[in-house]
Amino acid sequence: MTRLPLVALALALLAGCAYPYSPPSLPPVSSTSPAASVASAAAPAEARAPVTILVSIDGFRADYLTRGLSPHLSHLATEGVTAAMRPSFPSKTFPNHWTLVTGVVPDRHGIVANSFTDPAHPGERFTMASDQPYWWDEAEPVWVTAERAGIPTATMLWPGSNVAWGGTLQPRGHHAVTGGVRPHDWLQFNANISDRQRVDTVIDWLRRPGPTRPRFLTLYFDEVDIAGHDGGPDSAEVNAAIAHVDQAIGALVSGLAELGLAANLVIVSDHGMAATSSERVIALDRMVNPADYEMSEDGPFAMIRAVPGHEAALEARLLSHHDHMDCWRRNGIPARFRYGRNPRIAPYFCLADAGWLIDAKPADKPFTGGAHGYDNADPSMTALFIAQGPAFRPGAKLAPFDNVDVAPLLRDLIGLPPGRGLDGTDAPFRRVLRR
């Protein structure tokens, strides 16, 4: 893996290059970088319209905010607007991050799980590493709309932000694409980029002079989710991760203050977290004949196909009553999930009760941890929402709303026209937005 020397990294950031990024082993580019300070000083004050920063803290369950471990987030919540936000179904990372930036439910935007197949692309599988544009092109993310409107955008990680949206990947081109729109600045996902490096890079992007300064940015943190899976939502690991990400939020707020830059912050999570255990595993092989089915996703939900010719045998067992699990044909999933029309969803879909896991076999050794992907109305899946900045009236607690409404809010903040055909609206925010 190549390492960019610090000066090269600083210049690349200033020049606005999109480049594959390996985190430097040296301290990250800091707000005292000499070249950066020159750019900051050169920025004309009149060009400093508020920027919009969408921050995701993956797996930050709404009630984590009440643990007393995140003073910076709590302060922003007090100064701004807060709510308990319902994720979309299924309550997984990629479906929800794509909903947050497109304003449509996973059934319509096509990122129906973290991993799935599509009858239109036989032999291919979508995974979290897929940057093939056709997986993503059923709905347009807000940074593409903004770039097309001449508004510069920059993404410090976000599922889908490394994709040349609407482009075509060359068969043997090693990620070479023709056409497509990306954020002006973006990075290939790399879990080793520290929280502080993520924040410092965003601040450095914002140091640019007015015309080249991004006006919409994303910032993504995954450590709370990782800790939640490892230790479960009530673990010391989660508490440490909450406190650590909160420090990064504090650094973001002070970095913006040092720049004297007004920002509307929209801080969200994609879903919550439920405690799991080897005591709560649903062993599918004990309910249906393993010769009748193939399972392509397991855990909180399962995507299931019948072995050809075994449909009737599978249905007779799978679609009957089970403790702690419901199974449906794809087109029989209850309407409230808004899920089941997209052909990327397997023909049979099983959903476990929160805290239960579907697997072929019982656990072979004891474990505890955390998972998400459950019923999006289950309280354990509730997501974080805090919005703060000049666009928001302070101190409002909103009624719970669906995360499809975030993209319409972002469009308002960025100055884009309302989206057409979206599942969400900005209605939940109208009384707290200053016009």
* Residue 129 contacts ligand AMP per CB under 6 A: yes
* Residue 189 contacts ligand AMP per CB under 6 A: yes
Q: Helix or strand or coil: residue 277?
A: strand
Q: Which among Zn ion, ligand AMP, none contacts residue 45 (Cβ within 5 to 8 A by kind)?
A: none
Of these residues, 52, 93, 117, 153, which one is catalytic? Answer: 93
* Residue 58 contacts Zn ion per CB under 5 A: yes
> Annotated catalytic, 78?
no
In order, the DSSP letters of 347-394 are SEEEEEPTT-EEESS--SS--EEEE--S-TTSGGGPEEEEEESTTB-T
Shortest Å, Cβ 263 to ligand AMP: 23
How would you class 19 by CB atoms within 10 Å of its CB: exposed for 0-12, middle for 13-18, buried for 19 or more? middle
In order, the DSSP letters of 111-176 are --SSSB--TTSTT--B-TT---GGGTTTS--HHHHHHHTT--EEEES-TTTTS-BT-EE-TTSSS-
What tokens appear for 57 in the block? 């803290």
Q: Helix or strand or coil: residue 343?
A: coil
* Residue 222 contacts ligand AMP per CB under 6 A: yes
Among 30, 74, 114, 168, binds ligand AMP (CB under 6 A): 114
Shortest Å, Cβ 189 to ligand AMP: 3
* Residue 93 contacts Zn ion per CB under 5 A: yes
Helix axes 6-15, 34-42, angle to 10 degrees: 20
SS (H, E, C) 23-46: CCCCCCCCCCCHHHHHHHHHCCHH
Q: How far is 350 from 297, CA to CA, in rounded Å? A: 10
Q: If we measure between CA atoms, which residue out of 90, 168, 77, 161 comes closest to residue 384? A: 77
* Residue 298 contacts ligand AMP per CB under 6 A: no
* Residue 204 contacts Zn ion per CB under 5 A: no
Q: Say which residue the tokens 């709560």 belong to.
A: 280
* Residue 128 contacts ligand AMP per CB under 6 A: yes
* Residue 270 contacts Zn ion per CB under 5 A: yes
Among 147, 185, 225, 378, binds ligand AMP (CB under 6 A): 225
Shortest Å, Cβ 207 to ligand AMP: 25
Point out which span in 117-125, 197-205, 221-229, 287-295 binds ligand AMP (CB under 6 A): 221-229
**Which parts of 49-68 interact with ligand AMP (CB under 6 A)?**
58
Shortest Å, Cβ 149 to ligand AMP: 25
Binding site for ligand AMP (CB under 6 A): 58, 92-93, 114, 128-129, 159, 189, 191, 222, 225-226
Catalytic residues: 93
Binding site for Zn ion (CB under 5 A): 58-59, 93, 225, 270
